[in-house]
Chains A and B, each alone.
Chain A
Amino acid sequence: MTKKSIRLTSMSLVLTLMMMNMFFFTEKLAAKDEMVTKSLIFQNRTKEIAGVITDNDNIPIPGANIIVEGTTTGTISDSEGKFTLTVPINSHVLVSFIGFETERFLIDEKNDYVFHLTEDSELLEEVIVTGYGTKKKVNLTGAIDVINEETFKDRPATTVSQILQGQVPGLTGFQTGQYGFEPGAVMSFNIRGQGNAYVLVDGIEKDLNQINPSDIESISVLKDAAASAIYGARAAYGVILITTKSGLKGKPKISLNAQTSAVKAIRMPRMVDSYMNVLAINEAAINGGQTQPIKDERIDRIIAFQQDRTLPETIALPNGNWEAGNADYDWFDEYFGGLGLRNQQNVQVSGGSDIANYYFSVGHTYDGGILNYGTDDYRRLNLTTKIDANLAKWWTFSANTYFDRSERENPNYDNQGGYELLMHQIARTPPYQAMKSPNGIYTIQSKIPWARDAGTEKNLGNTFTEKLATKINFTKNWKLNADISFRLENWNWESVDKTVYEDKVDGTLVVSGSTVPSGVSKNQTSKIYLSTNVYTTFDQSIKDEHNFHVMLGTQLEEAKDQMIGGSKKNLISENVPSFSTSTGEITLDDALSHWSTMGYFVRFGYDYLEKYLFEVNARTDGTSKFAEGRRWGIFPSFSLGWNLAKERFMQDAMKNINMFKLRLSWGQLGNQNVSAYQDLPLMGTNSNLSWIILGARPDYTTAPNLINPLLTWETSETSNLGLDLSALNNRLTFSGDIYQRMTRNRLGPAEAIPNVIGASLPRANNSTMRTKGWEVSLGWSNHTSYRLSYFVKVMLSDYQNEITRYNNPTKILTTDYEGKKVGEIWGYVTDGFILTQEDADEITNNGTQKQFYGGAWNVGDIRYKDLDGVAGITTGDNTVNNPGDRRVIGNSTPRYQFGLNTGLEYKNFNLAVFFQGIGKRDLALEGNMFWGFANSGQESLYKEHMDYFRDREVEIRNDIQYVGLGINTDAYFPKPYRTNALNSKNQQIQSGYIQDGSYLRLKNLQFGYTFPKKWTDNIHFSNIRIYFSGDNILTFTSKNFHSPLDPETANVGRKGDGKSYFSQAVYSIGIDLQF
């Protein structure tokens, strides 16, 4: 058993023990209930009753559900609201219908019944968590979306960010984790196309990816300025309020959930076989006038190997080394083929009494990744304790404690880069590379020793968060809230570099040079965050018509980060990597930083009969990030709401409308999210100069940064117009918003300043950006027949960012300029292939395309369109007005972001389907993952890449039947070469190779079965559900998407586009238990 699986097993064991404990505990409780039940006398007499279901106005309700309580016996009302049902006497029936409250009626001696249902005002009365408070949904005037647990329950996702994708219109710009979808990948996203959202978990600023998704009760997304203005300083780009579950008064409720998933890479490229690979490489070399790199003798061995795979993968060279090889591997398949494992376990206990409510939870998540060589995993443990105590009738006190532990371990690779090299190196490993030498030792160039044995990097985070809050009701209308939150994060990062070896022909082992010397690096970061909120509210109603709300408050935040770290080379034993057991070069460094903000806020709200709503917020904030005198900003907002449905003329006109509300808001918010001290020229201090003096590498200093003493707040000003509608007993819901956000004093990119300035420029408040966008969501839910209910909700949103003011008088294209649509792709216009030698010679001799390559052009190279009338293809002066032969050929902004949630429940089965997609997006992909051919040794040849231009047959060696590389002048890819200089002829960013990055994905499909109550009751469970859940099951891409990769990862990768961890399909089975 490996170390990993022992750890996994012990973790499961602990959780199982806990579950068993709880089971016994519950069993005792259940036994008590049983005694109560047994004392009741059961009567088995039944009779048939008839009835009609109506609303309070005596209008019949067809399709309502009638069930005998405690059984699965039931029926459904017909088109006139009528039903008949056989029921035991003296039992109860439960009558339910969507849009109405479920009611319980006693069946007595009568045979005919009329059941009146009351309209369910829940939807309208639904309380939404807003900034510093809650509000009834009907009274909202800001743009707020809420998703609750049902939306993402039992999704096999490891982090909350992965769950949110596609679920909220206006939650946009989702991007993969920093390496793609690596284990524990944290997706980045924004609200309405810009910036970072401010995330508060139960009112405490926290990393949403550190929390346990199954603890979440609801997520409010505050999108416009009016909704988020109360958070002023930190909320320029919206707020996400996450509310975790709490205990409710009542007997203990225990939930258990366990899930196991199999994970498989999707849209993983297929490498061509080794023979095809060498034919193509040789051709590319010959295209460029180079000598044939893979010699015939070797090709013969490659052919022989394909026919008889028991032959050696490589041969000995005279210099005592092994040749690269003649094997035949698909290295992606070798590294990432097969299944990965994920699992999750959660235990939640909650309950309460008059004195206190409690909620305890333990969650564990493990993602073992899909890498076959080396350790590449993620693990998280979450412990939560929440207690709400009632100290007096007027005084409550609550304590929330969260402990979040996450651990990421991944290959450290070969010391020349790190994890980001993993995919880069696999991608450039040719299929003929031998995996093992004939001595049975892994070759270095298989990269397996690097991935598997060269050490790992571990990042272990322990976050402890405590929030103490108190609420005092001075009078019925006057309340005071005060809370203090403290968060301590400890991050232990450790990277071990181990030396790896390969063998020579004579069996001696030689080191892989880049893995020498071995060593260990560690750093420890502690981050302390302290926040205090005090606010008081006053509510007054005059004659129940005029409702006033006033709030005053203050918030203080301070944070201090400390990192201490170092490294030491030359491990004595690689099994014991520590500073104490190393003997070599030592480095030591630290990093200290701190910041603070301080804010005062006020809110005034007024409504008349909940019909006309008005709210104004103002907040003033100071931050330590800016120089004295430029620290404070004032951020006001107001919003109006008009509940038309409450107007008499509407009530008369449209009886079926439950809510019809118009919202209008305007507000300003501030952003101070820049690195501190950009107003101070600070010296760089460094150690270990790469120069030795007197036997040591000295410390040294470097030039101070350029400064901007004028740096101050960026303000975003949002206007929002919204419409909320629900009709047909709330079966139909619609919500739509259009907005414009002006980001003024924007901390834009550095201005174009001549390079002679010799330094990178500080951030500056240098531009204005306008975001225009809209969001709609449309939902329908209904019961149609007996015990069948379904819902569907579609969400669609779009935005575009445009630079409206920026200091760039020359309109040079290196940075923003006025009128720039963010995301635009400038490039040349493809005019097909050069098809005749005469055309090629003409281009060579006239130098029309010397911009890309000054030498000879060939048939099969790209011909570019001359747009500007100036001879030849040029970049002009690289400005908007003279861009040469380039123009805007696409835009990388994801447009029309789309989500569709639908589900149905039938009897005890439920099915949920979630589609997510992007309607329009252009990608300008670069590098070998897209083009295939690259500088020698950097190629990645996949099936797709073989569709390259060939105007002559590739010479196939006689002794093998092989179909493949015939003439192909109607190719997708141009003529390939093996040097960057030559490939730059054809691999420019150009219109002909812009990829359509739109996609539609079956993001989640879930099928569950809830065991009948009578079974579960027998074993004292209140609920048992088993389910199957699948993520990323199907993906549809455009026919104009020629990358073998997933559209979400094709442009991600630190070492080039697409060199990122593959997207994965996740198939899970799980069980939910409650008792």
Chain B
Amino acid sequence: MKKIILLLAVTATIGFWSCEDYLDRPPLDRIGNDSYWSTATDFMNYTLQFYSKFPSFGGGAANYTGIFGYDAFNGSDHAITGTIPNSTLNGTNTLLATNSNWNWSNIRSINIFFENLAKTNVPLSDIKHFIGEAHFFKAWFYFEKVQTFGDVPWFTNTLQMNSEELYRPRDSRNIVVDSILFHLDKAIENLSKLSDMTSLGGSNRLSKEAALAFKSRVALFEGTWEKYHNGTAFGVPNADWNKYFRIAVEAAEELMNGNYKVGIYNKSKPAEDYAYVFSQEDFSSVNEIILWKQFSVDLGLGNQFQPFVSGFTATIGLTENLARNYLSKNGEPINYDELISTQKGKAFLIALGDAVDARLSQTIWIPGALLSDNIHNVNGQPKYFSNPALNQSGNGFNGTGFQMRKGVNPYSATAGGPTGTLGNTGGIIFRFAEVLLNYAEAKAELGEPVDYNKSLNILRRRAGMPNFNKDNVDPNRSSYADFGYTLTNELYEIRRERAVELATEGFRTMDLFRWAGHNLIKGKRPKGYPFSQTDWGTTKINIPIDESGRLDPLKKGLPSGYGFNPNRDYLDYIPINEITLNSKLEQNPGWE
């Protein structure tokens, strides 16, 4: 009997558990897509993720200096890294099976937003701003793709493993750019103006102003690309570049019309106003900065920018080609060749700084400039810059004598500090000066009169420079600004102004590319300042020197100059794997 009772008890116990529910174990710490997207906050939280995709200061040599290092790390005639040639400029990139740039996860993520937007019951008016953000980011991510690859497939919807669209061909770049501009119009329509964004986060958040600024950038990019690559493999059949120039001008003019919270920072201190624009921890009251990334060591989000633009260099060296763009303080060209034959080393830098546009000494370290006045002072004394770091190695090395200074704030706690010291310098994403330069360039490309008083002269004035004058032609222009094709003096000078104002802000690579500026790269070798051993006493500097006494750091690495291939290197390659998997994808020119 006892045995039977036991048996029954055991059977009952099994029966108790034996139901299908036992195997239902839904997620405990994840939310399903189907139950998400039900409040305005859901939409807000989703678009927030994309802010972290903006370029800014980060880890690793290429990112310590954020956008300020891009001209060097991406490759341009204005900056180099160490003594190693940039592989894109040197044409030594190789066609590989994979390419990290061919990554589509951001575009999938943004498409998920739009798919769920179409289904949601949340009133669109409640999420207007976030819809604007989503449109902006779709444009942003696709613009990255167009810059890198030219033609790319346009996807409106997310793809599944069995989607036929996975195997689509690429869409022509102008169609893609038109779609980008469409999304930017939607972004401008939906985003709030900066003046209404106190509760959204002000200029730490995308605004109508930011979308307009971006629109001018995209349109100018595509207009110049189509114009200067016209007739090459990179061009577009029946290109209509003036359409894009018009869009660029209109977007810029909209921002310039006085109805927006934008401006140029000017406290009438030409020796420091320009520098101030890049070196602050908080740009929220600086109208010139339309969008920026805030850093806070206390919140676990700091950056090492100050050490890397003061005591260290992240290996960056600016070049003579940049330095030669600066006009004298009276707006006339200077005789650079004469200067380098008479002055060397430190003396040269001081003489150059004295002679030219104050923006140079706020971009390049001049001996005697205050490096740090903070806790890193030695024996309580502020530190001054004495000599470019030609004798250093690794992340402390400068190979050109033109050592980047832009963005330093000697009074910040981290300037002059050791590597690894985290600080709060803000990261700029959009500033109004670019819009003015976009305006002037696009307007001039259209052949229409440029309103310089509303644009470039404002920038000039801040630096204490006279007004823009297209006729102050430098007779030696061809030695640093020969694009290899004819260009009006006005466009030459606008490009010069862009080079100076936006120096080391990460625009130069794409400027060269959209201008088809290979003449400035191919076969050329960037040079540094005229070297003086007397500055160094017995310390031997191992950087090669050219016949005219200038530092020639790439002499060994580039015996015959950059090997840039103008028939190939303007666009990146489509990875071999992708073409294998999708026979409709065509490789970019020159990469077969």
Contact = CB atoms under 8 A, between A and B. Distances in A.
A685 B30 contact: yes
A592 B28 CA distance: 6
A29 interface: no
Nearest to B99: A755
B84 A290 contact: yes
B87 A981 contact: yes
A118 B103 CA distance: 76
B23 A851 contact: no
A143 to B, nearest CB: 31
Contact of B10 (A482, A514, A814, A979): A482
Contact of B161 (A699, A757, A851): A757
A852 B46 CA distance: 41
B374 interface: no
A480 B581 contact: no
A124 interface: no
A596 B578 CA distance: 40
Nearest to A697: B299
A55 interface: no
Do most interface residues of chain A lie in helix, strand or loop, or is the interface mixed?
Answer: loop
A512 B108 contact: no
Contact of A682 (B10, B32, B379): B32
Contacts of B102: 755
Interface stretch (A66-74, A126-134, A873-881): A873-881
Nearest to A561: B28
Contact of B204 (A290, A593, A693): A693
B52 A689 contact: yes
Interface stretch (A604-612, A702-710, A796-804, A947-955): A702-710
A416 B58 CA distance: 13
Interface stretch (B70-78, B415-423, B510-518): B415-423
Nearest to A600: B18
Interface in A573-596: 584-585, 590-596
Interface string A255-298: 00000000000000000000000000000000011111101110
Contacts of B422: 513, 516
Contacts of B577: 752, 755, 812, 814, 878
B217 to A, nearest CB: 21
A554 B7 contact: no
B49 interface: yes
A289 to B, nearest CB: 3
Interface in A311-331: 319-321
A756 B29 CA distance: 29
Do most interface residues of chain B lie in helix, strand or loop, or is the interface mixed?
Answer: loop
Interface string B83-114: 11001001111111100001111111100100
A296 to B, nearest CB: 7
A554 B11 CA distance: 11
B304 A513 contact: yes
Interface string A18-32: 000000000000000
Interface stretch (B151-159, B269-277, B360-368, B481-489): B151-159
Interface string A769-809: 00000000000000000000000000000000000000000
A96 interface: no
B298 interface: yes
B13 interface: yes
B52 A690 contact: yes
Given A692-B301, A878-B576, A594 B23 contact: no
Given A482-B10, A810-B581, A875 B542 contact: no
A728 B72 CA distance: 80
A472 B1 CA distance: 13
Contacts of B559: 289
Contacts of A40: none
A683 B29 contact: no
A569 B422 CA distance: 14
Nearest to A515: B420
Interface string B181-220: 0000000000000000001110011000000000000000
B557 interface: yes
Contact of A585 (B18, B201, B299, B557): B299
A981 B201 contact: no
A694 interface: yes
A683 B421 CA distance: 35
Contacts of B46: 700-702
Given A513-B304, A513-B419, A698-B48, A290 B557 contact: yes
Given A596-B22, A680-B32, A753 B161 contact: yes
A513 B421 contact: yes
A875 B98 CA distance: 11
Contact of A596 (B25, B54, B83): B25
B299 A701 contact: no
Given A700-B49, A704-B33, A854 B92 contact: yes
Interface string A665-692: 0000000000011001111011011111
A1022 interface: no
A981 B92 contact: yes
B557 A288 contact: yes
Nearest to A762: B161
A480 B25 contact: no
Contact-residue bracket for chain A:
35 or more
Nearest to A685: B31
Interface in A549-578: 554, 556, 558, 569
Contacts of B585: 754
Contacts of A631: 23
A13 interface: no
Given A691-B204, A851-B94, A855-B563, A511 B418 contact: yes
Interface string B546-590: 000000010011010001000000000001111111100100000
A532 interface: yes
Contacts of B159: 756-758
Nearest to B90: A855
A394 interface: yes
Nearest to B386: A318
Nearest to B19: A598
B3 interface: yes
A556 B23 CA distance: 10
A622 interface: yes
A338 interface: no
A474 B200 CA distance: 75
Interface stretch (B119-127, B289-297, B323-331): B289-297
Given A474-B7, A682-B31, A878-B577, 14 more contacts: A516-B421, A554-B18, A569-B300, A681-B33, A691-B293, A694-B204, A700-B46, A701-B42, A703-B109, A708-B161, A756-B153, A756-B159, A813-B97, A855-B90
24 contacts: A290-B84, A291-B553, A292-B542, A513-B419, A532-B14, A556-B22, A585-B298, A593-B29, A681-B33, A683-B32, A685-B30, A685-B31, A691-B54, A698-B48, A700-B49, A701-B31, A701-B42, A703-B108, A704-B33, A755-B102, A758-B106, A875-B576, A878-B576, A979-B84
| 8 closest Cβ pairs, A-B complex | A513-B420, A758-B108, A289-B556, A854-B92, A758-B104, A592-B28, A693-B201, A624-B25
Interface of B: 3, 6-7, 10, 13-14, 17-18, 20, 22-25, 27-34, 36, 42, 45-46, 48-49, 51-52, 54, 59, 82-84, 87, 90-97, 102-109, 112, 153, 155, 158-161, 163, 165-168, 199-201, 204-205, 293-301, 304, 307, 311, 378-379, 393-394, 417-422, 540, 542-544, 553, 556-557, 559, 563, 575-582, 585
